[in-house]
Copies of this chain bind each other. A is one copy, B any other.
Amino acid sequence: MRERYLLDWTVGFSDDETQKPAEVVKSEVPGAVQLDIAKEKGYGPYYFNDNYKDYLWMEDKYWHYSGEINFPAIAGRIFFVCGGIDYKFKVYFKGELLYDYEGMFTPFELELTDKVKDGDSIDIVIFPVPKSCEYPVDRCQANQSCKPAVAYGWDFHPRLIPLGIWDETYIESRSDEFISQAAVFYKVDEVDYSFADIEVVVDGEFNDSAKLKWLIKDACGQIVLEQEYAVSEVVKSRINDIKLWWPNGQGNPYLYTSIIELYNAKGEKVDENINRVGFRTVAIVMDEPTWEEVIDFPKSRTTPPITLKINGRKIFGKGSNFVCPDVYPGIITPERYVEQLDLVKDANMNLLRMWGGAVVNKKSFFDGCDERGIMVWQEFPLACNRYEGTESYLKVLDNESKAIIKKLRQHPCIVIWCGGNELFNSWSRMTDQDLAIRLLNKNCYELDRDKPFLPTSPIMGMAHGHYIFREPNNGREVYQIFSTSNSTAYTEFGVGSIAANIDVLKKIIPEEDLFPINSGTSWEYHHAVAAWEPNSHLTLDVVEDYFGKSKSIDDVIENSQKMQAAGLKCLFEEARRQKPHASMALNWCFNEPWITAANMSIVSYPAIPKKGYYAVKESLRPMLYSAQIEKFRWQEGELFSPSFWLLNDAPEYFLGDNVKIYLRIDDAEHYIMQWDIGTVEANTNLQGPTAHYIIPKGEGSEMKLILRSEKNSGLDSEYFLIYSPLDIKEDEGTRLLNH
């Protein structure tokens, strides 16, 4: 069988591929060269204040890894196995060039049998950060590589471009015969979804006399398939009475285990390969009425479909955009993923868009999604650039995309392949004719054609944005922006807020800069101001317009988060109300790659929820009572006309209820009306009544609309709003009223 041995790594840098480094330091593998150097040289942490600037010089160096191999005297074959090296590199063994590659996503292994001895070294040279141009010093430099563009600088990411060995890397001993890969393919019957035809394709090195044994076990460990066969045979089988893999909220994400065992001619088990299998079908389908939307001649085509259908059931995609969990993907651990994915699942999400600007995550991330029923929309590493189809770029993209598809296609969580982010918008200027897009579609077709492929997000009919609570130019709030939109899917939208709490802020901002909040300080280096517009992501002017002048950093934290929470609640629920024409709601964004001072994320790095997180969790309950509200700020005497909805995307009937509706102004609770509801079909919303209610006189500055169930308090909702007593109007003029 197999044994793994870690190498002892050092790393150093030079100005040239062949020049040896002047000195070397101990290296953590997997990791990043920047972290090794910073540790050795005593740099301040890259996330504090503007320390990241100290790391910039490392972009343009050649990096020289040396890994000392230590392993006991053993029989069998010896391999150097590497999960990925970031980015362009060559691998040498005793001066011999073994491997020369560009791209971080393709794992590789090199056989060292018969030539390696204890104490030998593997030498790796990593080239400088790829840059297609010297200026501008931003994401454009990534437009001819498969390096995640976010690292070149983004509105929530410092310019810190990792280099190094970033995934599991080790020496492995194996038997003379072994399995390289066992890919399980299946087709679920689409009549009643009761059985699957299944086949396994085993690659490896074995003699004709070897035998394979294929076992499939259910989640309880019961064997549901057991077959022995010669390595030359193609094995296909059928599993009856399957349990399906369902997205979160729709059923159990049931997983089977497939085990391939390899036996040599003597009948000894010499290797095994274990995979998990989740049986499900996936398609992207049209919303029926959309077929008839195009009426008049001259007549164009219909907008393309974007409704997910899993196991024959249309499912509203609700979730978030998942960005890099760390600036340095090499240090992301499985535990980090677990912590974040538990939050995703707890927030009633069923879909994560893995944004094309970011790294394609490690296997353990997708294992976590498989286990939790989190569907994954996976993009290739293209974002907001024009990736021209030169021969050299297409070659790298071809290799890297195939590696990504092969690595992930076995995961039931993967439901959509997508070319990348905002490629067909004016700031990118790619089109359906771009060879890069056609190549990705082709590779997905060849290697994983049963999953949908989207060229980019957004495609026609879908939408990205808006990213603010209130538009500065016309005063429109989230309440009006989404309710007048008619998109087929909302795959990015957001509202900024400050970080989760004061402790988080103190990790990145010097004490003396904490309050008041100023430009040119750590607030700016950490994206609270001037991230993409002068006031974003914090928009403190808007926060203070609603909540009043902040007297301390605690006020900012409280009020900024309240505004984000109210905004996201409005946006998510409005998108859900537009079902089935709208089929997805994914906010920008879930997490962040380092601690930001302000951002649209709903958790602070690494996994600290903001108020917005809890609001989203409420809004994404499978069933809830929801209110469509006209605006954020109200005042005595105004006519308040919220409409009430039952939102239901659960696969279950709603069995009827009586809902009492109240308006609370600070501590005073005013009864508005009662709403009696009968049964409602599964996965179906119900539009209820609209109230017409004059805002009464009250004390304080906040009000809440409360929907309270008689039968099931789990469906209750509360909407936080701003209450302005009448005298404020006289002070500040009518602008308060008319947003």
Contact = CB atoms under 8 A, between A and B. Distances in A.
B292 A464 contact: no
Interface in A276-310: 283-284, 286, 291-292, 294, 297-305
A289 to B, nearest CB: 10
Nearest to A424: B301
A154 interface: no
Interface stretch (A157-165, A172-180, A427-435, A708-716): A427-435
A445 to B, nearest CB: 5
Contact of A458 (B300, B303, B429, B493): B300
A643 interface: no
Contacts of A463: 297-300
B435 A300 contact: no
B302 A433 contact: no
A493 B301 contact: no
A464 B297 CA distance: 7
Contact of A298 (B283, B294, B460, B490): B490
A305 B455 CA distance: 15
Given A283-B433, A294-B425, A442-B442, A301 B458 contact: yes
Nearest to A429: B291
B456 A426 contact: no
B302 A424 contact: yes
Nearest to A491: B298
Interface stretch (A141-149, A479-487, A537-545, A697-705): A479-487
- Residue in A286, A432, A461 whose Cβ sees the most chain B Cβ within 10 Å: A432
A298 B465 contact: yes
A537 to B, nearest CB: 16
A461 B431 contact: no
A466 interface: yes
A114 interface: no
Given A298-B463, A302-B426, A460-B301, A439 B431 contact: no
A533 to B, nearest CB: 12
A647 to B, nearest CB: 20
A426 B438 CA distance: 25
A395 interface: no
Interface stretch (A52-60, A354-362, A446-454, A509-517): A446-454
A461 B299 CA distance: 9
A426 B292 contact: yes
A29 interface: no
A437 B460 CA distance: 17
B299 A458 contact: yes
A286 B431 contact: yes
Interface in A295-328: 297-305
Nearest to A431: B305
A466 B298 CA distance: 5
Interface string A464-494: 1111000000000000011001010010010
A464 B455 CA distance: 24
A674 interface: no
Contacts of A456: 301
Given A431-B286, A445-B439, A302 B482 contact: no
A459 interface: yes
A363 to B, nearest CB: 27
A528 interface: no
Contacts of A493: 298
A453 B435 CA distance: 10
Contacts of A624: none
B433 A300 contact: no
Nearest to A443: B442
Nearest to A394: B449
A212 interface: no
A453 B432 CA distance: 8
Contact of A297 (B299, B305, B429, B467): B467
A445 B304 CA distance: 22
A628 interface: no
A462 interface: yes
A345 B647 CA distance: 61
B438 A299 contact: no
Most chain B CB within 10 A, of A286, A300, A433, A467, is at: A300
Given A298-B464, A301-B460, A458-B299, A438 B433 contact: no
Contacts of A452: 433
B438 A487 contact: no
A550 interface: no
A275 interface: no
B302 A464 contact: no
A441 interface: yes
Contacts of A459: 300-301, 432
A304 to B, nearest CB: 5
A466 B302 CA distance: 17
A400 B509 CA distance: 65
B481 A300 contact: no
A719 B347 CA distance: 67
Interface in A186-244: none
A437 to B, nearest CB: 10
Interface in A574-604: none
Given A431-B286, A435-B449, A452-B433, A301 B425 contact: yes
A73 B284 CA distance: 62
Highest count of chain B CB atoms <10 Å: which of A298, A438, A481: A298
A442 B431 contact: no
A401 B675 CA distance: 60
Interface in A372-428: 424-426
Contacts of A283: 433
Contacts of A424: 301-302, 304
A455 B286 CA distance: 17
Contact of A438 (B302, B304, B441, B465): B441
B442 A304 contact: no
A425 B297 contact: no
Contacts of A460: 300-301, 303, 460
Contacts of A305: 431-433
A493 B298 CA distance: 8
A467 B490 CA distance: 37
Which 7 pairs between the two chains have the least Cβ-Cβ distance? Answer: A298-B463, A297-B465, A297-B466, A301-B424, A291-B426, A442-B442, A438-B445
Given A284-B433, A438-B449, 4 more contacts: A301-B424, A305-B431, A432-B455, A435-B449
18 contacts: A284-B433, A297-B463, A297-B465, A297-B466, A298-B464, A298-B482, A298-B485, A299-B458, A299-B464, A299-B465, A300-B463, A301-B456, A301-B458, A301-B460, A302-B425, A432-B455, A435-B445, A438-B441
